[in-house]
Amino acid sequence: MDNKNKEVIDAIEAPIYLKYNFTAGLAPARFLSQLKQGVLTGQRCPKCDNVYVPPRGSCPACGVATEEEVVLGDKATVQSFTIVSIPIPGNPIQPPYIVANLVPDGANISFIHLMSECVNEEVRIGQRVTAIWKPKEEWDFAMDNIRYFKPLDEPDVPAELIGHLSVNGTEN
Amino acid sequence: MNIDICIVAFSQSACVAQAGAANEVELIMPQLEAVYSQVGISNAQDVDFVCSGSCDYLQGAAFAFVAGVDALGAVPPIQESHVEMDAAWALYEAVLKIRMGHAESALVYGFSKSSPGELPVVLSQQLDPYYLAPQWIDSISLAALQARLMLDKGIIKASDMAAVVAASRRCAMDNDKAQLAGQFSISDLLEEPEYVSPLRKADCSPISDGASAMIICTRSKAEEWQVPFVRLSGIDHRIETHNLGMRDLTTSHSTRLVAEALSIHNSSLDIAELYAPFSHQQIILEQALELQAETEINPSGGVLAGNLMMASGLSRVGEVFNRIVAGEAIRGLAHATSGPCLQHNLLAILESS
Amino acid sequence: MGELAAVVGIGQTKYASRRGDVSIAGLVREAAQNALEDADLSFKDIDAVVIGKAPDMFEGIVMPEIYLTDALGANGKPMLRVHTAGSVGGSTALVAASHVQSGTFKRVLTVTFEKQSESNAMWALSTPQPFSVHLNAGAGGYFAPIIREYIRRSNAPSDIGIKVAVKDRLHGARNPLSHLNLPNISHQEVEDSMMLWDPIRFLEACPSSDGACAMIIANKDLVSESPKPPAWILGGAMRSEPTIYAGRDEVNPRAGRDCAKDVYAQAGISDPRREFDCAEIYVPFSWYEPMWLENLGFADQGEGWRLTLDGATSLDEGGDIPWNCSGGVLSSNPIGASGMIRFAEAARQVRGDADQHQVEDARLALGHAYGGGAQFFSMWVVGANKP
């Protein structure tokens, strides 16, 4: 009689596969179309004047629709950052790498992106960076047309001015 | 708590098969703007509480409801909550908030972007995750099982189901928000092939994208705003066992329980908006509610004409509200449902002021 | 305003990285039955059930209240499912309380849960969204830059986070339900642990746990039907703000400050540090203790870290305002339940029912939860004295 210890099965794997046809909203769609042309844009709130990037079609603070498109440059300021030790599936970037909150010149909020070509320990709040785009032929409707941001040789921005610079990098 | 809860505004988008390039914020904002202007306020800062209903799985994005907060103008911060259910239950939560004295007014909204996914398949994942969900039994198949039971028991005939559809399509011709409308005879409808037997395609509500919003408040707030209002004189809900084999699927036990709790049977109702995603389910609900001949059922066309999953329940309340405010009815009933084969049911009674 | 309500029963499950001995239904039922036993009641004494959990995408069950009706004795009763991201444990408690405070029901059961071993929270939190850069940052990656900005503003010594990590795990070692049981954890051990998202080290981050928490909330008229002293609900508040907006203070969110102000006003509190006997605060990453000490008004801006450094928040060091005596989120974290565990543990303290992690003679406690990008807040104040 077979009396081997039978392994108790107390769980099964039941994978879930669901297919979705994702559509970007109207405002994100315009933003992405511009990105495909290599242009980073934001949208201005008609009520509070702040420029949002990436735009989602409304100013969350005021609850009004945003329409006015603002072309932003490639330069940005580090609002904050972290050094990550966990790899990103499907991305060749090797840990430790920098994930930063960056405010592009002309915008009033930050978005999250990668930094590279930098010494991790020298990255700091207020540091100036510029976008490094993928080759034109690889551009798609995606934020990762910008491969990463790299440090610029420009003076740091004082903390209280981060998020308040105009499109050409001067104080608003 | 004896506070009169009043409904003062309602708006719903058109039910469309695909909203296309429209994110949550873009779907919700026009409806919010509509209810704000009905009452004369400018944004969510002007109400005391906001509650929404939605289901992330419809769009396939966790935290989709968080994006909805961006439509509200939540600076300064607001009192806001959310249920992962039809907005009719968000309405319920808002009613409790007002009854306990923590709010005099509330904004309630629900939104549906079901077109990105395959809704009936998504809903199969509502089922018991160990025994049923891995079998991927979709919501239409379950409803079909229920319809088969009713046919086999002789409770209904196929022509009864077709009659519900015909009435829906006909009423929907007067509803500019409806997705499916038209004049169809019962025999036209019976000529269509079966889809998931014994259901024909027309027996199933369509999949619709859209949003709806409502503002409720105390009577004194309604008087302060100087707007016409309808009293929400009762709201309640009940859920049944998840085990389909343990339920009599040909009746709606929980709907009957709520009807008894709200003393609906034998009361005078001019209209009833019933959330019946399948034609045979409307008959089940009519029977559980013991609706009399004088009650007009689904004058909007009901959800067979357009189904904003997660907002349709709130819309049923809104459709009754619209008609009472317009003077077309004095007392009406709205119903919302959730879960497979009418597992969870909510009823609301609305009366003119 | 409203009917007076109290917590008359509390039930929790043992928290662990994997509860292979129960299904999800079993997990929530365990907590519910523990709460009913604690209150000397049975399912038939419950008028309505309110459940809450984090996104459905974690375990992949769409609208789980539908599946859990039977496990929670909800057949033929009203059942509601609340979902406000990470603060859901707290919001669920508040919505459940509103069922009683509105006069609609006399006694309700509320349960929150997460079965993380049957889910993929990391994936659900960072699902690659089309058109966005996929950074797989997760919660830690999101909060680390904010913590860095706090350190810059406050000039806090760099090892404050380590002190919190040690303190909360030592507290957790007193709690037999705790997931992490690290009675010998040391400063060095935390400092040596792997840096994940600088400045958050592995041992400064919360674990991922299976667990459920339940409470029975009753109208004052029914309180005497349960044997243990009640925890009177003296105040409850929720606030939300958008995740991102120009000028948002992510380090000291306004929604948190406003929510605290509201709940303190309801409970008649003007000096939280001195008036509360203890607090259970949602701290999933160690540095959030000093940040929340400031956000909640226990310390002035820029000074929160001093309270931590001085041992004011430590039960073991005899601090005057112990925080997270249960071990907090840093010791057990079933995401959907964590907020309610804070609310429940605050209630346990004022019932004198917190066993080895009891603060002596605790009469007034704060429960706190937050979620999303730190934009959803829910809080309550519970007390031993009937108002």
Over residues A152-164, the pLDDT tens digits come to 999 999 999 998 8
Q: Give yes or no: residues B70 and B214 share one domain.
A: yes
Instruction: Round to whole Å and give the CA distance between C208 and C324.
Output: 18
Top-confidence residue, B59 or C379 = C379
> By residue range, what is the domain housing residue B243?
233-352
CB contact under 8 A, C239 and B79: yes
Confidence band, pLDDT 50/70/90 cuts, at residue B63: confident
CB contact under 8 A, C137 and A112: yes
State pLDDT tens for residues C295-320. 999 999 999 999 999 999 999 999 99
Q: Give yes or no: residues B103 and B220 share one domain.
A: yes
Tokens of B167: 């009435």
Q: Give yes or no: residues B195 and B168 share one domain.
A: yes
Residue closest to C379 by CA, chosen among C111, C1, C101, C87 = C87
Nearest chain C residue (CA) to A50:
C246
* Chains linked to C by 3 or more Cβ pairs within 8 Å: A, B
Top-confidence residue, C129 or C57 = C57
Q: Give yes or no: residues B87 and B218 share one domain.
A: yes
Q: In this structure, are residues B20 and B26 in contact, taking their beta carbons and an 8 Å threshold? A: no
Q: What is the pLDDT of residue C132?
A: 67
Q: Give yes or no: residues B164 and B240 share one domain.
A: no
Q: Which of A10, A32, A45 sits opposite C131 (nearest CB)?
A: A32
Q: Give yes or no: residues B134 and B85 share one domain.
A: no
Q: Give yes or no: residues B265 and B336 share one domain.
A: yes
Q: At how many degrees (to 10) do helices C254-267 and C288-295 cross?
A: 60
Provide mean pLDDT across the span B337-341.
Answer: 97
C-alpha distance from B333 to closest chain A C-alpha (Å): 33
CB contact under 8 A, A12 and B134: yes
Q: What is the pLDDT of residue C233?
A: 98
Beta strands of chain B (E only): which ranges?
Answer: 5-12, 49-53, 80-83, 105-113, 194-196, 199-200, 209-218, 230-239, 271-273, 296-297, 331-338, 344-352
* Chains linked to A by 3 or more Cβ pairs within 8 Å: B, C
State pLDDT tens for residues B122-139. 999 999 999 999 999 999
Instruction: Round to whole Å and give the CA distance between C302 and C289.
Output: 12
Q: Give yes or no: residues B195 and B244 share one domain.
A: no
* pLDDT of C126 strictly over 80: no
- A59 contact residues in B (CB cutoff 8 A): 73
State pLDDT tens for residues C28-55. 999 999 999 999 999 999 999 999 998 8
Number of domains comprising chain B: 3
Q: Which of A18, A28, A60 sits opposite B122 (nearest CB)?
A: A18
Confidence band, pLDDT 50/70/90 cuts, at residue C124: confident
* pLDDT of B25 strictly over 90: no
- C58 contact residues in B (CB cutoff 8 A): 62
CB contact under 8 A, C242 and A24: no
Specify the length of chain A in residues.
172
Kindly tell me the burial class for residue C355, based on how many C-beta atoms sit within 10 Å of its own C-beta (0-12, 13-18, 19 or more). Answer: exposed
Q: Is C135 on the interface with A (CB under 8 A)?
A: yes
CB-defined contacts A:C, below 8 A: 106
- Give the sign of the dihedral formed by CA A55, CA A57, CA A60, CA A61: positive
* pLDDT of C189 strictly over 70: yes
Q: What is the pLDDT of residue C128?
A: 66
Tokens of B273: 């908006």
Average pLDDT over all residues of chain B: 95
Instruction: Round to whole Å and give the CA distance between B299 and C349.
Output: 55
Provide mean pLDDT across the span B81-94.
Answer: 96
Residue B75 CA to its chain's centroid (Å): 30
Which option is the CATH number for C5-119+208-225: 3.10.20.90, 3.40.50.10540, 3.40.47.10, 1.10.3720.10? Answer: 3.40.47.10
Q: Give yes or no: residues B9 and B31 share one domain.
A: yes
Top-confidence residue, A80 or C130 = A80
Instruction: Round to whole Å and give the CA distance between B125 and C19.
Output: 22
Q: Could you give the dihedral angle defined by the CA atoms of residues A102, A107, A108 and A109, in that order, rounded to the nearest 10 degrees?
A: -40
CB-defined contacts A:B, below 8 A: 81
CB contact under 8 A, B118 and A61: no
The C residues from 94 to 113 touching B (CB cutoff 8 Å) are: 95, 98-99, 101-104
- The CATH number given to whatever domain includes residue B43 is 3.40.47.10
Most C CBs within 10 Å, among B23, B80, B135, to test the C interface: B80
Q: What is the pLDDT of residue A2?
A: 54
3-state secondary structure B293-328: CCCEECCCCCHHHCCCCCCHHHHHHHHHHHHHHCCC
Q: Give yes or no: residues B239 and B347 share one domain.
A: yes
DSSP assignment of A25-94: -HHHHHHHHHHHTT-EEEEE-TTT--EESS--SEETTTTEE--EEEEE-SEEEEEEEEEE-SPPTT--PP
Residues of chain A scoring pLDDT < 70: 1-5, 172
- A109 contact residues in C (CB cutoff 8 A): 244-246, 248
CB-defined contacts B:C, below 8 A: 180
Inside any domain, residue A108: yes
Beta strands of chain C (E only): which ranges?
Answer: 5-12, 48-52, 79-82, 107-115, 195-198, 200-201, 210-219, 231-240, 278-280, 364-371, 376-383
C-alpha distance from A120 to closest chain B C-alpha (Å): 32
Average pLDDT over all residues of chain C: 95
Inside any domain, residue B123: no
CB contact under 8 A, A61 and C242: yes
- B129 contact residues in A (CB cutoff 8 A): 14
Per-residue CA distances from C134 to A84, A93, A106, A118, B240 (Å): 14, 12, 24, 20, 42
Q: At how many degrees (to 10) do helices B139-152 and B279-289 cross?
A: 60
Q: Give yes or no: residues B238 and B344 share one domain.
A: yes
Q: Which of C23, C83, C241 sits opposite B130 (nearest CB)?
A: C23
Instruction: Round to whole Å and give the CA distance between B110 and B54.
Output: 6
How many CA atoms does the CB half-sphere of C189 hold within 13 Å? 10
Q: What is the pLDDT of residue A14?
A: 87
Nearest chain C residue (CA) to A20:
C130
- C146 contact residues in A (CB cutoff 8 A): 80
CB contact under 8 A, B22 and A26: yes
Any idea what the Cα angle at residue C230 is, between residues C228 and C235, rounded to 5°?
A: 165
* pLDDT of C374 strictly over 70: no
Instruction: Round to whole Å and give the CA distance between C345 and B28.
Output: 38
Q: Which of B71, B116, B125 sits opposite A16 (nearest CB)?
A: B125
Tokens 């088969």 map to which residue? B148
DSSP assignment of C139-207: HHHHHHHHHHHHHHHHT--TTHHHHHHHHHHHHHTT-TT-S---TT--HHHHHHSPEEEETEEGGGB--
Number of domains comprising chain A: 1
* Chains linked to B by 3 or more Cβ pairs within 8 Å: A, C
Question: Could you check whether the bond before residue C199 is cis, i.e. omega within 30 degrees of 0?
Answer: yes
> By residue range, what is the domain housing residue A32?
26-161
Q: Give yes or no: residues B89 and B149 share one domain.
A: no
CB contact under 8 A, C146 and A11: no
Tokens of B42: 């400018």
Tokens of A110: 């930050």
* pLDDT of B162 strictly over 70: yes
State pLDDT tens for residues B267-323. 999 999 999 999 999 999 999 999 999 999 999 999 999 999 999 999 999 999 999
State pLDDT tens for residues C132-167. 676 766 788 889 999 999 999 999 999 999 999 999
C-alpha distance from B20 to closest chain A C-alpha (Å): 6
Nearest chain A residue (CA) to B59:
A20
Inside any domain, residue A87: yes
Residue C237 CA to its chain's centroid (Å): 14
Q: Which of the residue ranges A12-16, B249-253, B311-315, B335-339 would you say has the lowest mean pLDDT?
A: A12-16
CB contact under 8 A, A109 and C245: yes
- Chain A residue set in contact with C, beta carbons under 8 Å: 10-11, 16, 22, 24, 28, 32, 45, 48, 50-52, 59-61, 79-91, 96, 99-101, 108-109, 112-114, 125, 141-144, 159, 163
Q: Is B30 on the interface with A (CB under 8 A)?
A: no
**Secondary structure of residue B230 in the 3-state scheme:** strand
Domain boundaries, given as residue ranges, for chain C: 5-119+208-225
